[in-house]
Amino acid sequence: MAGGYSEVLTVELAAKAVNANGYVPSIFGKSVHFKIQGETYAIYLERMPVVIIFKRYFLDRTEYDLDLLREAFHKTSDELIMVKAFVDEDGEGISFQIAALENCYGHFCDSLERYVGIIDNAVDLSRLRYHELEEARAHCLEAGHPEESVASSPSINSQA
């Protein structure tokens, strides 16, 4: 039975899981892409049983401070252990990803919405942390302490 709950996950079955969750999949080699409300997610299956669920945004470097963004992503990754948030090496984009061990279609199908939700929570948390860091930096500058590290500010507890 193709797509049985315990069947070994393949690219084709990952696409079927995407479809079963109500989205339209597109297969590109060893990856499956799909959109939710206009935002693209990708599932990479090149290193099975490790599956990477990924969301990337292009970055307007004139709008965001890369150092603050990196710090916000570091905090997000620390708080949401399952998610890695980072500024791409070329500085042109930002990415959020989850790596999960997935062997079978059924479990992946049942878990896909949770994975997407975790990524979306990471995006929201990164925005919040970025704005907190911006506010802390502004507070330090207003207080006449431009040399103070934002990371050392006690008031610190993104656009992606």
Task: Identify the CATH number of the domain in which residue 29 sits.
Answer: 3.30.1460.10
CA-to-CA separations, 132 to 42, 62, 143, in angstroms, rounded: 29, 19, 16
- Domain assignment present for 56: yes
- Domain assignment present for 106: yes
Q: Which of 12-16, 77-81, 83-87, 137-141 has the lowest mean pLDDT?
A: 137-141
Structure tokens of 55?
Answer: 């969301």
CB 141 within 8 A of CB 147: no
d(CA 156, CA 36): 32
**Residue 95's beta-bridge partner residues?**
56, 86
Return the pLDDT at 155. 30
- Domain assignment present for 35: yes
- Domain assignment present for 78: yes
- Domain assignment present for 51: yes
- The band of 140, judged by pLDDT with boundaries at 50, 70 and 90, is confident
Count CB-CB contacts under 10 A for residue 13. Answer: 22
> Is the per-residue pLDDT at 18 higher than 50?
yes
Return the pLDDT at 6. 85
- Domain assignment present for 119: yes
* % of the chain at pLDDT higher than 90: 68
> Is the per-residue pLDDT at 114 higher than 70?
yes
> Is the per-residue pLDDT at 78 higher than 60?
yes
> Is the per-residue pLDDT at 80 higher than 50?
yes
pTM over 0.95? The answer is no
- Give burial (CB, 10 Å; 0-12/13-18/19+) of 158: buried
- Domain assignment present for 66: yes
Count the domains in the chain. Answer: 1
- Domain assignment present for 17: yes
- The band of 159, judged by pLDDT with boundaries at 50, 70 and 90, is very low
> Is the per-residue pLDDT at 110 higher than 70?
yes
72: domain range? 11-126
